Amino acid sequence: MATVEQQPAPAADGIRVENPATGEVIATVPVASAEDVRVIVARARAAQPAWEALGFDGRAKVLRRAQKWVVDNADRIVETIVSETGKTYDDAVINEIGYAATAFGFWAKHAPRYLADEKVRSSSPFVLGRKLVVRYRPLGVIGVIGPWNYPLTNSFGDCIPALAAGNAVVLKPSEVTPLTSQLMAGAMRECGLPEDVLIVATGDGATGAALVDEVDMVMFTGSTRTGKKIMERAAQTLTPVSLELGGKDPMIVLADADLERASSAAAYYSMQNAGQTCISVERVYVEEPIYDQFVDRVTRKVAALRQGVSTGPGTVDVGAMTFPPQLDIVSRHVEQARDAGARVLTGGVVHTDGGSFYEPTVLVDVDHSMACMTEETFGPTVPIMKVADAEEAVRLANDSEYGLAASVWTKDAARGEEIARRVEAGVVCVNDAQLNYLALELPMGGWKSSGMGSRHAAGGIRKYCRQQSLLVTRFAPPKGDLQFYPFRAGRTKLIGKAVKLLYGRGKRD
């Protein structure tokens, strides 16, 4: 994956932001130093209590206004996203505006329920008659560190539940794509978010590292390599982290799959956003009886895709590589596979005239000795492998350090679900892929090297909170409970007998 060493070098006057589809420099943003980060976090910390005191209703008002702002200003946001990522208008509308508009409303509505006090019943006789409650309090200042592939969905999107919970947020967007975050910070102020409750600190890896030292919790989305560094650094201050990392998502196509739908989905979910989606289809396993037909259809569909500079909706299907050094990783995977005997049925070519493009590519005759089947490619490639049966497909799908998402394709949905349950991934779709991301009621998080923690659903907001348990005793014997001092043999024996009576009866096997 992209490494820190590969990130753009800061110019003396800041980081130059390029449009990767045209090569044009479109802005320069400052690099926040460690001292700047300290000051920024202190400002956010000072602003947080008043934001928390507004309560769910007060905060929801701001979030709902922001939802409307996103819809009303969609064109402006899309222009910004397209200019800094080189993605298509269509990808920006569907997967960024579509997500943000949903997320603001979702968290405004569900935060009170997910974070409401929970009354708890206990089976322990020791706490009989006591009131037991679990409650959630915001942690304080959350540091959100984001990647370059989805500046609105993946960087800014994770700020929304953190804010809904009553935290202040300092957002460190990728140095490759900082402009959408800046635009959204302005939008939030326009929508009534109090000053300093959300601050964008632009900068590079060092800025991100400094943020880890200062905040109360880190929400990180990015490569597994950086995720490990963040966890190591956060350990010094025992700061909790939530890590959404890389993936190598398998697609399993069974012999009874709907060929037309499965081949269209393989083309779309591998090439959408030029393959730069953490949950894109990165490798495909197809049962032998339909392998040739499947490969034919996918190749025709991928070869027909239009690639280039997106100048409006529907103008091209596949955009640029957002981070130009990513071209080297994609090229290495394809070349290495080719050298080892794989065939490139379409694509396999880099275009750097003006922008940074990699042609949509179909690879066959691949196996697990090749990086294109084991390492995250994060580009517009789809390697397809023939398997004898579903058992082999599951075994190969699980033969990976990653476990982010996966999909199974079959007309027999029940069998598909059975197979899905055996795949080692945080999300598995049957006859679909990626769609789970838009259902915020469903948790989404990686297994193995794909991360820890999750976003969306109750866990996606509770992680931004301290959990507090309350035990309230209203009525109790004034002279004390049975277990109080001084210990008396009779009472201890009585307790022992009660424990035996409660938990010691009955056969076990």
244 belongs to the catalytic site: yes
Residue span 418-457 as binding mask against ligand NAD, x where in contact by CB under 6 A, dash where not? ----------------------------x----x------
Beta-strand relationship, 361-364 and 198-200: unpaired
Q: Out of 174, 180, 181, 436, which residue is the one contacting ligand NAD (CB under 6 A)?
A: 174
Q: Out of 10, 105, 151, 246, which residue is the one contacting ligand NAD (CB under 6 A)?
A: 246
Alpha helices in 115-258 (DSSP H): 159-164, 179-190, 205-214, 224-236
CA dist 282 and 398 (Å) reads: 13
Q: Which span (1-9, 57-65, 350-358, 383-391) binds ligand NAD, by CB under 6 A?
A: 1-9
CA dist 78 and 93 (Å) reads: 7
Please give the structure tokens belonging to residue 34.
């460690």
Dump strand ranges (E) for 53-152.
118-120, 131-138, 141-145
372 belongs to the catalytic site: no
Q: Is 226 in the site for ligand NAD (CB under 6 A)?
A: yes
Distances (CA, A) of 493 to 14, 69, 128, 489, 498: 74, 68, 19, 6, 9
Segment 277-316, which members bind ligand NAD (CB under 6 A)? Answer: 278
Instruction: Give the active site residue among 244, 282, 375, 376.
Output: 244
Torsion of CA 45, 180, 86, 8, to 10 degrees: -40
Q: Is 110 in the site for ligand NAD (CB under 6 A)?
A: no
CA dist 4 and 330 (Å) reads: 17
Q: Which span (47-55, 170-178, 192-200, 427-435) binds ligand NAD, by CB under 6 A?
A: 170-178
Q: Is 416 in the site for ligand NAD (CB under 6 A)?
A: no
Q: Out of 91, 96, 196, 204, which residue is the one contacting ligand NAD (CB under 6 A)?
A: 204
**Of 190, 248, 271, residue with least CA distance to 426:** 248
Q: Is 208 in the site for ligand NAD (CB under 6 A)?
A: yes
| Minimum CB–partner distance for residue 59 and ligand NAD (Å) | 24
| Minimum CB–partner distance for residue 474 and ligand NAD (Å) | 46
Considering the complex, state which of residue 196 and residue 376 has its C-beta at the smaller distance from ligand NAD: 376
| Minimum CB–partner distance for residue 450 and ligand NAD (Å) | 6
Residues in binding contact with ligand NAD, number by CB under 6 A: 33
Considering the complex, state which of residue 152 and residue 265 has its C-beta at the smaller distance from ligand NAD: 152
DSSP-derived secondary structure letter, 154: I
427-430: strand order across its sheet: 343-346, 361-364, 381-387, 281-287, 249-253, 405-409, 427-430
CA dist 151 and 147 (Å) reads: 7
| Minimum CB–partner distance for residue 121 and ligand NAD (Å) | 36
**Under DSSP, is residue 169 helix (H, G, I), strand (E, B) or coil?**
strand
Q: Is 145 in the site for ligand NAD (CB under 6 A)?
A: yes
- DSSP letters for 23-62: --EEEEE----HHHHHHHHHHHHHHHHHHHHTHHHHHHHH
Catalytic site positions: 244, 278
User: Which residue ranges make up the site for ligand NAD (CB under 6 A)?
Assistant: 1-2, 4, 145-149, 154, 172, 174-175, 204-205, 208-209, 212, 221-223, 226, 229-230, 244-247, 278, 376, 378, 404, 446, 451
